[in-house]
Structures are given as C-alpha cells and as structure tokens.
Structure 1
Amino acid sequence: MHSTADVSVDAMIEDLRTLVEVESPSRDQDALAVSAKTVAAVIERRLGGRAVLVGSEAGPHVHWSAGGDPQVLVLGHHDTVFPLGTLERRPFRVENGRATGPGVFDMLGGLVQAVHGLAALDERSGVEILVTADEEVGSHSSRALIEERALACGAVLVCEGAADGGALKTGRKGCGTFQVAVTGRASHAGLEPAAGVNALVEAAHQVLAVAALGRPDLGTTVTPTVASAGTLDNVVPAAATVVVDVRVESAAEKERIESGFAALAPRLAGAEISVRGSVGRPPMPESASAGLFAAAKELLPGLEGTAVGGGSDGNFTAALGVPTLDGLGAVGGGAHADHEYLLVDAMAERALLVAGLVRAIRRGAHLAT
C-alpha cells in the first residue's frame, strides 16, 4: 500500500467538518437536498467531473462516475439518524485524536476517506460512487438504483463504519421490521368489561407468540421493541400495535420468520390482527466478501473481519451475488449515539485501503474465493 503521505489528514478533516455541519436527518427532504449538494461539491472538488443528484421521494441521492467500463461501486449514504438541532448541542470537534459530531462515524467519515482514497489513484476509470439519502430508514427509494449499479460494476466497497477494533464487516444478518396490529372492541372497564374485546390482552398473547419465533441457535433474533395500546384508564382498549425487530443469518430463516408472522392468529374471540413487514434486507453471506477480504488482508496484514448483526446496503448487493466488502469506513464507534466518534489516526490508512482495493479489483482479486 502506498505511503499515507498520498493523502492529507488535514484535508480530510476539512471535508468531514463541511459534511457534518450540514445536518441531514433521514426523511427531511429540505435538509437532505442541501446535504446532497454539499456531498456532490466535495466529490467534485477532490475527484473532478460531475456528481449527479438523483431525485427520489426520500431526498436526493448522489452519483459520480469516472467514466469507462464500470468495475467498482463505492457505496455509502449521507442521511443520519440525528434530528435538526443536534449540531448545536454537539458541534463538530477534533480533540485528543478523536473527531466527534453527528454522523462522523455513521457514515460521513467513511465517505470522506473513500473520496480521498480515490483521489490518490493515478487511474480512476471504471470507479463509481453512489451516496444514498435513505439508508437509515430502509433504502426503499434507493434499492433499485443500488442494485442496478452494483450489477453493472461487479464489485462493491461499502464505506460504513468499521466493526469493533477496526475489523471489516465480512457478513451481515438480514434484518427487517414487522408491525402486528390488533383490533378489539372498546367498552367501559368498570361497568361492562366483558362487553369489550381487550386489544392489549390480545397483543400480549401475540408478543409471546412472536418472541417464540426466535432461534438464537440459528442466529435468528425476534425482538418486540415498541408497543402501544389504549386511550383512557377506564376503557377496554380497542386497538394495539406491536413493532418487532428481526435479524436472520440465512435465506431459509428469512422464509421461516416471514411465514411465522403470516400464520399469527388471534387468541381472543372477536379480536382481529393484521401483520405488515418483511425481512427487507436479505442476509449478506461471508462468501460474498471472501475474495475482497483476502485482498484487503494482503494490503493490511493483521486486518480482521467479522460478521455483524446490523444491516447495510451491502446486504442488497451481496444478495445479488456481487462481491461486496463492508466496514471500510471510519474506525471509531458510538453509531447513533451521543458519544459517536472517529479515530483520526486511522483515516489515512483506511483511505488508502479503499484505493488499494480498487487496484486489486482491476486485477480480478474480488473473483477469488
């Protein structure tokens, strides 16, 4: 791998500050429009050419291509989980070797590192960058574009934050969200409770049935996370909802879980239930990253890889059979939390890892198993 002198940490910090100080909460189209223009400007300043804004119902995605036959897609997102106003409470800072501020680790730092890594390449033909606006909320508006460009390029480098200790993410669980809605019948809780159908009691039955679908021995977790029911303390609840987080390691478990939710039936006479949701992000098998991870270890001996429970857009590309390596972004931690941070000392090395992997892909390293 080239010397870290090939990239400027000061310049990366400058660009990171620029991106962090433009807040970009998911679903806020006005904020995301400004963020997308800012991301595009950083890409154009460092790599030349034109970054195109691709409009969507979620906000603009950013697509840049160096031209030539597509060979590698560098994938990321510019939306963050933090609401407007977070920056005022938690401004961008660099202290004691750490950069902090909303989105530094997930995943603005990874975007900056990737751009500067690509800038260190003498030849960028065949490289594309896609930065989406809705990864944190399911990638519903960007999935088709992600899959299209991944299939066109044939290899994907995902610049999400690294795993603990700087490990790359060589596998990810599939993940999804389900909502179980219960309809009962209201009545006076004191005068005639038996005249009602208690949606909260029915929801309790459903929570137990749903939780029983989990199979930790197979890597499957089914976790009820949010529930709501009722209106007043003296009214039998007429409605309730339960939201459930699901993580699976295999396509077979995805099918079993989805079938299990579809088969849920009410336990109380007169109650009705309906289920929405699916395992929207398919599992990312470790086989999808094998060749690219081997190339990464040649570039950085001692580099580790690990499978993680969280999902990313790499799940979509790996499910298509496109070689995909994830976790190439910032080394740090605290994703989605107030203590989110990025380790400045790792930025140059990780930027050049992206550059080295692009060279390796050109040699066909991603095709190895």
Structure 2
Amino acid sequence: MLADLEELVVCESFSSDLDAVARSADVVAAQGARHLGAEPERLVVNGVTHLRWTFGTPRVLLLGHHDTVWPMGSLDTHPWSVSDGIARGPGIFDMKAGLVQMFHALASLPSLEGVCVLVTGDEEVGSDTSRALIEETAQRCVATFVLEASADGGALKTARKGTSAYELVVHGKAAHSGLEPDKGINAATEAAHLVLALDTLAEEVNIGAPRDWRTTVVPTVVGAGTTTNTVPAEARVWVDVRVPTLTAQERVDVAMRALKTTVAGAGLVVRGGPNRPPLEEASSAELFTRAGLLAQRLGLGQLSAAAVGGASDGNFTAGLGCPTLDGLGAVGGGAHADHEHVVVAEMALRAQLLAALVQEVAR
C-alpha cells in the first residue's frame, strides 16, 4: 500500500494544470488496472480527465478524486516521506491515500459485480466538469461510498453542509472625488452596506437553528474602484455560503436575490447560487449503522461520526436521494496545509472496513 501511495503522491496533480491532471490520471488508471484487472473508461470533459470502472450492473458507487490543491513544484517543499508511522506529501490526506485504500479493498473481494468506481479530476475546483458524470452514475446505484479523508480521530462524515457561491455586482457612477464627488454614485459605499446586510441575513436564516450547526454567510473578496481620485463606478462582493439543510439553502437564495441597495441610484446584480446541496444525516444514517456493525464484527472498534462544514462530491449523490456515507478514506489530518499527513497503520484497517461494506451492500 505504501508503494502505491508513493506512486500517486509523487505524480503532482494541481487541479488548474490540466496536463498534470492528465498525467495523474494515467498513473491512477494503471494502478487501478493492476488491482481491479480492468482498464477504466477515460472521460475527458473540457480538458479534465476522469476515470470510471464499471463491473456489471452498478449498485454501489465508490467516489473519489485525484486532483489536489497543491501547486506544481510542491514536492520540492513537501517531499514524500514516511517516518514513525506517518506518511507525508502533497495531497496525501486529501485524498490519494483514499484511492489506494479503495483499490486494495476492491482487490480483496471475490467479485466486483455491481461495483462502479469513479475518480474525478476537478473536485477541488468545484466539480464543474464531473458533476454530470457523478449524478448520472449515482442515479443507478443504491449507495455511494466517498473515499474522502476522515474527520478528526478517524470519524466518518455523516453530514456535510451544502455550498452556495454568490457575486454581488454593484453599479454606481464615476465622478472626480475632489471636484464633484456629489455627482457620483459610490459603488464602494453601497458594497459596504451590503456586507453589513449579509450579517442580518445570516441571523434571520439561523432563527431556531442549533448553535453548532448553523448557516454561514461570509463575504470573502471585496473590490471597488479604479483610481484614488475617482468615485468608484463598480464594486464586487463575493460571498461563500454554507448550509446544513436544503431548506436553509433555499431561504438564503431567496434572501440574496431580495437584497436592496441603500445608496441612491446604485444598481445591484446578484450572480451565482447553490452549488452543492447538503449531505444531510438522513442520507447516511442507515449506512453508518451498517458500517458500525461491520467494524465491530471485524474487531475495528466503535466508529464515530462527524458533521462538517466542508463539501464533497458526496453532496451531489446525497442530493439525488442516493444514500451516501463519506469520510471512508485516510485517517490523519492537515488537508491543504503544511502538516498534511496520513497514519499508515490505519490504511489497511480502513480498506478492510470498505471491503466489507461494499460486499454487503452490493450483495
């Protein structure tokens, strides 16, 4: 497993470098073919390379991605290493170790009948080219297992917030800021009012919501103006929204589109909207219970569950109504960070659990 993990980690696969993603797909395809005894379909959509293996009539979807957030050359500063039972390297936790565990789990099964494996190449940048593939595949299945990394302490991810992304474009009117500022319409001032209005919007959506599982509405990037002596004619506010339920996602969308301007004469255009639906606990409850019973039977101890704010491609499958269990990949930590790492001893144990889950559900 470590040799396979090194093979994937040392092939860098920054999402924005499509040539690198294609090279990574070649490595993942070869490794998968060795373990599964079959070549994958190579699905290239707008230059992004995805891989899919299908065995018979699909019942169980195993979902992962091979792209990473790490820019090319990151191996120079974050080299592959294994020391004291900890493996390190760019993308190792999110989520190349999950792919290795998946291949080894499937290789241990007497039959792959009913199994479909989909490894995408653009999860880290929003899954724009792979979403249709994910949804089309999941619609034919009774369960989806997502090989994203586990939560803290190895917890499986039984709920994920959904995501929405908005761009608020404010249109004002330029004027000389020293000679006749009163003849301008200051888009920056209006943007400031909108940023404050977003706090009120979040408070209203969260009325009655649990304190530890609330909707967040966060302005992330704000820009306005062209020169230091000109009233800004345009401003933009980008907003990241995370929602625990589909109802909350719909409420936020309605509220965002109902935003009003405060500065006289200013115009507002709201772009964007929901991206990933939430993975609600109801979607994972039965599968988590089944995984817990199997873990006990295998002597792996008691499983724990976590609800997390980050989204994955499992949000898409859950949104379709396909029961989905996430976080079945690596145990470790530091996703996207300098201390990204994997606990080596857990890899085989997680592969055992996945193999048992796939065999039971496919049967």
TM-score, structure 2 as length reference: 0.94
1:35 maps to which of 24, 45, 48? 24
Partner of 2:314: 314
RMSD over aligned CA atoms reads: 1.3
1:92 maps to which of 74, 80, 87? 80
What is the distance in 1 between the residues matched to 2:14 and 2:236?
Answer: 26
What is the distance in 2 between the residues matched to 1:251 and 1:277?
Answer: 17
CA contact (8 A) 1:58 1:133 kept: no
The answer to whether structure 1 residue 139 and structure 2 residue 130 are counterparts is no
Deviations 1:252-285 (A, max 9, x none): 1111100111111221122111111112111111
Partner of 1:357: 357
Detail structure 1 runs of 4+ shifted over 3 Å in the superposition.
none
TM-score, structure 1 as length reference: 0.92
Partner of 1:284: 279
Question: Unpaired runs of 5+ in structure 1?
Answer: 1-11, 364-369
What is the distance in 2 between the residues matched to 1:77 and 1:235?
Answer: 46
What is the distance in 2 between the residues matched to 1:180 and 1:79?
Answer: 29
Deviations 1:157-200 (A, max 9, x none): 00000011100001111112111111222222222221221111
2:237 maps to which of 233, 242, 248? 242
Aligned-partner residue type, residue 226 of structure 1 = V
Deviations 1:10-41 (A, max 9, x none): xx111111111111111321111111111111
1:123 maps to which of 94, 101, 111? 111
What is the distance in 2 between the residues matched to 1:112 and 1:211?
Answer: 43
Higher mean displacement: 231-240 or 37-46: 231-240
CA contact (8 A) 1:110 1:161 kept: yes
What is the distance in 2 between the residues matched to 1:68 and 1:118?
Answer: 15
Deviation (angstroms), 1:58: 5.1
The answer to whether structure 1 residue 23 and structure 2 residue 18 are counterparts is no
Aligned-partner residue type, residue 286 of structure 2 = G
1:44 maps to which of 33, 40, 44? 33
Aligned-partner residue type, residue 74 of structure 2 = T
SS in 1 for 2:259: coil
Deviation (angstroms), 1:97: 1.5
What is the distance in 1 between the residues matched to 2:157 and 2:257?
Answer: 32
What is the distance in 2 between the residues matched to 1:240 and 1:337?
Answer: 32
Question: Unpaired runs of 5+ in structure 2?
Answer: 297-301
What is the distance in 1 between the residues matched to 2:28 and 2:200?
Answer: 44
Deviations 1:275-334 (A, max 9, x none): 111121111111111221111111223101121111111111111111110000011111
Partner of 2:248: 253
